[in-house]
Amino acid sequence: MATAQFRLENAWHPIARDEGGGFVVTLVNLSAETIADFKLAYTSLTRVGDAPACGNAAFLRRNANFHQYAPPAGLSLAPGRSWRFTVEGLLRPARHRTDGAKSAYLTLADGSHHAVEVGDLMLEGRHSEPAPQLLPEGEVREPFSILPWPAKASLTAGDTIPVALHPAAGATLDELRAIDTVLSLFQRLYSVAHVPFALAPVHEGRVLRFARQDGVAPSGYELTFAADAVKLRYGDAAGLQYGLTVLAQLLHGARTKPDTFRFPASGMILDAPRYGWRGCHLDVSRQFYPVADVKRLIDILAWFRMNTFHWHLTDDEAWRLEIKAFPELTTVGVLRGPDEPLLPQLGNGAEPVGGFYTQEQAREVVAHAAALAIEVVPEIDIPGHSTAALAALPDLIDGQEAPDSYRSVQGYPNNALNPAIERTYEFLGKVFDEMVAIFPSKLIHIGGDEVAANTWMASPLARSLMEREGIEGTFGLQSYFMKRIQGMLADRGRSLAGWDEVSHGGGVDPAGTLLMAWQKPEVGLELAKQGYDVVMTPGQAYYLDMVQASEWQEPGASWAGTVPPHHTYTYEAVGEFPEALKPRMRGVQACIWSEHFLNRDYFNHLVFPRLPAVAEAAWTPAEGKDWLRFAAIVRLSPRY
């Protein structure tokens, strides 16, 4: 393999008079050539303001987290030599080693782009604390590896482990298929482990008897263990699947860690979920996840008896869903590269990167999830977070609006669809037509988050709409837009889901609307009071991209604070909800935002053990939660 030709080192240091502190950036020329007259670009979530003070460099431009600099005129860099420069005027301080450059590349005078390897952000002037251990060994009082822990379990431990469970004669086709589904799931997640089930009788196996009964709670199941057989009672297909999944977990734990876990010899499990919405979101815009990876996450959700996959398909950084009426969305709207309308961001370098889902692939994901009792709720994030859509379809822009008249919190200029342009609704109507033919979910999530203050205020078309309709300000316009979107979804038999800011500026009709409380927990209660159904996804507990400890060397984002696994696990999202409003709280959801997820190792480090922690919070009654038990069992989790 060729060695790198260039490497970028970067360090952050505090500055007494400037909270943002400063960067020291060093480019090392490892190539055999002297370079001169070049530009350096890097992507960093710690961004510079509009006029950063640079030492030994000139600042050229920034777009969101893309930054570009040039060396002083005449500088040339011989093989083995370094160019070092300083940058001050950062918009916020760096707090962790992942807060600096995620990627970089060089552009030479001939326009060619060259890869630059990047190291961790170092800390200068303060101690760089190593990442701590995040999970205790844990301990179990009852030696059974079930996660989420069931509502009620009264079990005695056996001394033997059945080789496999096999159905009694007379099992129905649906029951045989359910075994096959969970067995295949198990084999995908633990491909080397011994199988938990067989469809034919097994020597030293144990018989599995089924009983479908009306009295069992929705998604619930009952397991009765005896020396000669296991009995599974269920009321619906999800309950049947969950009972089988728990049996697979019990067998797998007993086989994998026999010192800690056993298979039950006798006793019962009576179980049903605490919440109807046990969700996980995945942002596939900031980083692309191939279909096989999306399916793998869905498999993991099924293993933890979660039932909702919220697929965040579009954002500023890319539009990932094929829309046949607008092919530009998944050509121009996905490709990020040095010479593309969308510049490299969040770990992209010299090579353009793209990726999108064809409609056939999206249907394949929906079918994969449905077979595991998981509903896919698709999201297109509008009206904000729409840089990619606007790059692909520039005729949706008000040509008279001043460029860079507002910026999103992520630093994107003029990134919102314009509510005063009728083509916006024609575009979205066609998008919804195609989405409803792919996604059977009653809910279509339309985002609605983080429309920046002042958005559209420099658009003459928006101004005249405000005057005509008597609309006040950005959020009045947002509400006007959202109400129209809600009507368009209703025309297609669907209801609106969105982030909590959908309620701003007058909001929408709460009937049938579900909003996700992400900004802080109190927002959830406020939305419920306004009549919205609520799913709790507060960043402070359930955003899995947040750092898990405050130490510098721990990776992740920190704008919502530090989110240790213990906090994610013990957090009670229902919090202060009064009894009368509790039914409005439909459940809880983990969110996987992908800015920091440059590869599978980052994904695994940040998502586990917090995803199973959210799963247990979604399923297990508050009084049944036990952090040390969870810590012991969660070690058996499949990895992504």
Least distance to ligand ACM, CB of residue 577, Å: 21
> In terms of CB distance, is 229 or 409 closer to ligand ACM?
409
Instruction: State the CB neighbour count (10 A cutoff) for residue 92.
Output: 14
> In terms of CB distance, is 123 or 502 closer to ligand ACM?
502
Q: How do beta strands 221-225 and 165-167 pair?
A: unpaired
- 156 forms beta bridges with 266
Least distance to ligand ACM, CB of residue 9, Å: 31
- Integer Cα distance of 123 and 129 in angstroms: 9
> In terms of CB distance, is 83 or 518 closer to ligand ACM?
518
Contact pattern for ligand ACM over residues 318 through 357, marking x by CB under 6 A: ----------------------------------------
- Integer Cα distance of 339 and 341 in angstroms: 7
> In terms of CB distance, is 222 or 283 closer to ligand ACM?
283
Structure tokens that stand for 293 in this block: 């990876």
- Integer Cα distance of 119 and 131 in angstroms: 17
Residue pair 507/479 in contact by the 8 Å Cβ criterion: yes
Least distance to ligand ACM, CB of residue 432, Å: 21
> In terms of CB distance, is 23 or 543 closer to ligand ACM?
543
355: left (phi over 0), alpha (psi -120 to 50) or beta: left
Q: State the number of binding residues for ligand ACM (CB under 6 A).
A: 4
Instruction: Check residue 150 and report its DSSP letter.
Output: P
Q: Which residues ranging from 473 to 512 are in contact with ligand ACM (CB under 6 A)?
A: 499
Phi and psi, residue 107, nearest 5°:
-115, 120
> Is residue 450 flagged as an active site residue?
yes
- Integer Cα distance of 162 and 151 in angstroms: 25
Least distance to ligand ACM, CB of residue 450, Å: 5
> In terms of CB distance, is 326 or 518 closer to ligand ACM?
518
> In terms of CB distance, is 244 or 497 closer to ligand ACM?
497
Q: Which residue is nearest to ligand ACM (CB)?
A: 449
Q: Which residues ranging from 419 to 448 are in contact with ligand ACM (CB under 6 A)?
A: none
Least distance to ligand ACM, CB of residue 622, Å: 26
Residue 412 binds to ligand ACM (criterion: CB under 6 A): no
Measure CA 132 to chain center.
24
- Integer Cα distance of 261 and 254 in angstroms: 5
Residues in the chain: 640
Residue 449 binds to ligand ACM (criterion: CB under 6 A): yes
- Integer Cα distance of 385 and 62 in angstroms: 18
Instruction: Check residue 276 and report its DSSP letter.
Output: S
Q: How do beta strands 39-44 and 101-107 pair?
A: antiparallel
Least distance to ligand ACM, CB of residue 518, Å: 5
Contact pattern for ligand ACM over residues 226 through 265, marking x by CB under 6 A: ----------------------------------------
Instruction: State the CB neighbour count (10 A cutoff) for residue 490.
Output: 13
Binding residue (CB under 6 A) for ligand ACM from 120, 175, 379, 450: 450
Residue pair 563/547 in contact by the 8 Å Cβ criterion: yes
- Integer Cα distance of 446 and 265 in angstroms: 49
Residue 222 binds to ligand ACM (criterion: CB under 6 A): no
Least distance to ligand ACM, CB of residue 373, Å: 26
Least distance to ligand ACM, CB of residue 480, Å: 21
Phi and psi, residue 443, nearest 5°:
-95, 135
> In terms of CB distance, is 175 or 595 closer to ligand ACM?
595
Residue 315 binds to ligand ACM (criterion: CB under 6 A): no
Among residues 175, 450, 595, 616, the one annotated as catalytic is: 450
Q: How do beta strands 35-36 and 76-77 pair?
A: antiparallel
Residue 518 binds to ligand ACM (criterion: CB under 6 A): yes
How far the first Cα of the chain sits from its last, in Å, is 27
Instruction: State the CB neighbour count (10 A cutoff) for residue 322.
Output: 18
Please report, as ranges, the residues that interact with ligand ACM according to CB under 6 A.
449-450, 499, 518
Kindly list the catalytic residues: 450
